[in-house]
């Protein structure tokens, strides 16, 4: 059996402190006929990335409304995750060498996982390319049931996907009963499916990372990591991934420092088990840092967790998410929820969260990121106005209750019974 991820309990009714009662009543009504349905979410890692964060909330909320939901992860290997990282980069538009040998490694490992798959599910949700081929190996086995509905959830930006890589994955994706995407623009024109759903992910307002923190607590946490909350703080929270452009953020910081000499930069993130590039990107950022004591390069290696990230985002005067490609970028909504303005790359799902000039700014270069950051640091009242607007935008569009409702509607739509 594939490895089950242990989860804390959540109670949907606790969210009455954050969202309107009508929202929760609607969710309970949608869930009623689905009670007892068996739902499996499957991805590549239990921690370290946005998908893991989403599932840590979504699966317990499904259980809270009576769904028999589970979350499991693939059995991987360094070789397999090197291949899937290559695929991930190719699907986001990078020029990669997608060889028959890489394809063989990928398919053999997915086959191994297929052999560990159990049956009895009403809905199986496959996340991203790592397990995308699983269904293809199960269709002629006793584990496969025509009653089960399979959904592929794509969390990455395929706007400029490498054609060779996408054409390898496309037949596997098309075996699913539905696919779910963050933006319409991400859906390749060559995809042939009856059900293509567009719905962005969301943040959990009751997660430790997003709960209110008292100011003295924020100050003390920052102090432990050498961050002076009395001085201006720029902050980017993300995986150490080349698409997040941490080196570009450091370059923007140096331009900002020419105007605001006492500014500090916090680059905080995590290393995920399915991302072999993480340490390489960390080393590149460390080299770019050049020993600057006002650049705080932090990760889970230094015991950075949800509480610390929460404190850094709340202490920041400006939050950046200078991504070059971005499926969604949960950290944008996290910062806006805390009332902080965000300077984000004009990429993917960031454009859904930042209304340019309303919640923050969208930028296309290091220089523009620096200019907008200086503007926000120089006019704190304006920064607070943008942050407040962003919080309202997130409350209306990007909280986990909305995502839960979307999934329940999809399960209703797919229904049960024999496939056509």
Three-class DSSP labels, 234-275: EEEECCCCHHHCHHHHHHHHHHHHHHCCCCEEEEEECCCCCC
Q: What is the DSSP letter of 205?
A: T
Report d(CA 11, CA 14) in Å as an integer. Answer: 6
214-229: pLDDT as tens digits:
999 999 999 999 999 9
pLDDT at 418: 32
3-202+399-414: CATH topology: Rossmann fold (3.40.50)
352-410: pLDDT as tens digits:
999 999 999 999 999 999 999 999 999 999 999 999 999 999 999 999 999 999 999 99
pLDDT at 420: 35
93-119: pLDDT as tens digits:
999 999 999 999 999 999 999 999 999
Contact assessment for residue 27 and residue 253, using Cβ atoms and an 8 Å cutoff: no
Residue limits of CATH 3.40.50.2000 in the chain: 3-202+399-414, 215-397
| Contacts with 147 (C-beta within 8 Å, 6 or more apart), sequence order | 122, 416, 417, 418
Query: Which of 147, 95, 330, 344 minimizes the C-alpha distance to 234?
Result: 344
At residue 168 the predicted structure's pLDDT band, cuts being 50, 70 and 90, is very high
66-84: pLDDT as tens digits:
999 999 999 999 999 999 9
pLDDT at 360: 97
* Per-residue CA distances from 45 to 68, 74, 267, 404 (Å): 21, 7, 22, 21
pLDDT at 219: 98
pLDDT at 47: 81
Residue predicted with more confidence, 271 or 123: 123
User: Is the four-CA dihedral 249, 251, 253, 255 of positive or negative sign?
Assistant: negative
Where do we find the tokens 């402190």?
17
Where do we find the tokens 């997608």?
98
19-51: pLDDT as tens digits:
999 999 999 999 999 999 999 999 999 987 889
Residue range 278-300: mean pLDDT, rounded = 93
Report d(CA 343, CA 323) in Å as an integer. Answer: 10
Q: Is the pLDDT of residue 276 over 80?
A: no
Q: Is the pLDDT of residue 297 over 80?
A: yes
Runs of H (alpha helix) within 153-198: 163-174
The torsion angles phi and psi of 238, rounded to 5 degrees, stand at -170, 165
Residue range 288-314: mean pLDDT, rounded = 93
Contact assessment for residue 323 and residue 238, using Cβ atoms and an 8 Å cutoff: yes
Query: Which of 264, 254, 261, 267 minimizes the C-alpha distance to 228?
Result: 264
Contact assessment for residue 30 and residue 412, using Cβ atoms and an 8 Å cutoff: yes
| Contacts with 51 (C-beta within 8 Å, 6 or more apart), sequence order | 43, 44, 45, 127, 128, 155
Strand-strand pairing, 3-4 and 68-73? antiparallel
The per-residue pLDDT of the chain, averaged, comes to 95
Q: Which CATH number fits domain 215-397: 1.50.10.20, 3.40.50.720, 3.40.50.2000, 2.40.50.140?
A: 3.40.50.2000
């Amino acid at each position: 059996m594939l490895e089950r991820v242990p989860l804390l309990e959540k109670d949907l009714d606790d969210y009455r402190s954050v969202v309107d009662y009508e929202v929760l009543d609607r969710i309970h009504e949608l869930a009623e006929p689905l009670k007892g349905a068996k739902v499996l979410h499957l991805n590549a890692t239990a921690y370290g990335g946005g998908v893991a964060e989403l599932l840590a909330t979504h699966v317990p909320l499904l259980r809270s409304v009576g769904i028999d939901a589970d979350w499991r992860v693939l059995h991987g290997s360094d070789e397999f995750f090197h291949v899937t990282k290559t695929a991930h980069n190719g699907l986001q538009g990078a020029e990669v060498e997608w060889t028959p040998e890489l394809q063989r490694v990928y398919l053999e490992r997915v086959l191994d996982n297929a052999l560990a798959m159990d049956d009895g599910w009403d809905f199986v949700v496959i996340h991203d390319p790592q397990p995308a081929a699983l269904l293809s190996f199960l269709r002629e086995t006793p584990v496969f049931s025509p009653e089960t509905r399979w959904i592929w959830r794509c969390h990455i930006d395929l706007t400029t996907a490498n054609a060779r890589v996408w054409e390898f994955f496309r037949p596997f994706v098309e075996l699913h009963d539905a696919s779910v995407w963050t933006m319409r623009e991400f859906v390749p024109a060559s995809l042939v499916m009856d059900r293509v759903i567009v719905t962005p992910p969301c943040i959990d307002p009751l997660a430790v990372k997003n709960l209110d923190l008292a100011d003295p607590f924020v100050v003390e946490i920052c102090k432990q990591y050498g961050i002076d909350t009395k001085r201006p703080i720029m902050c980017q929270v993300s995986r150490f991934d080349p698409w997040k452009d941490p080196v570009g953020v450091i370059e923007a910081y140096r331009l900002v420092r020419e105007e605001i000499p006492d500014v500090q930069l916090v680059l905080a993130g995590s290393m995920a088990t399915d991302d072999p590039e993480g340490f390489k990107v960390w080393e590149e950022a460390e080299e770019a840092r050049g020993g600057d004591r006002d650049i705080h390069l932090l990760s889970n290696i230094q015991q950075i967790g949800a509480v610390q990230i929460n404190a850094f985002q709340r202490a920041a005067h400006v939050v950046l998410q200078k991504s070059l490609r971005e499926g969604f970028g949960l950290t944008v909504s996290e910062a806006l929820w805390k009332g902080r303005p965000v300077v984000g790359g004009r990429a993917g799902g960031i454009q859904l969260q930042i209304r340019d000039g309303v919640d923050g700014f969208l930028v296309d270069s290091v220089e523009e990121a620096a200019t907008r950051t200086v503007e926000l640091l120089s006019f704190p009242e304006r920064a607070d106005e943008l942050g407040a607007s962003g919080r309202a935008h997130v409350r209306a569009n990007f909280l986990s209750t909305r995502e839960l409702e979307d999934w329940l509607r999809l399960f209703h739509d797919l229904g049960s019974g024999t496939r056509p």
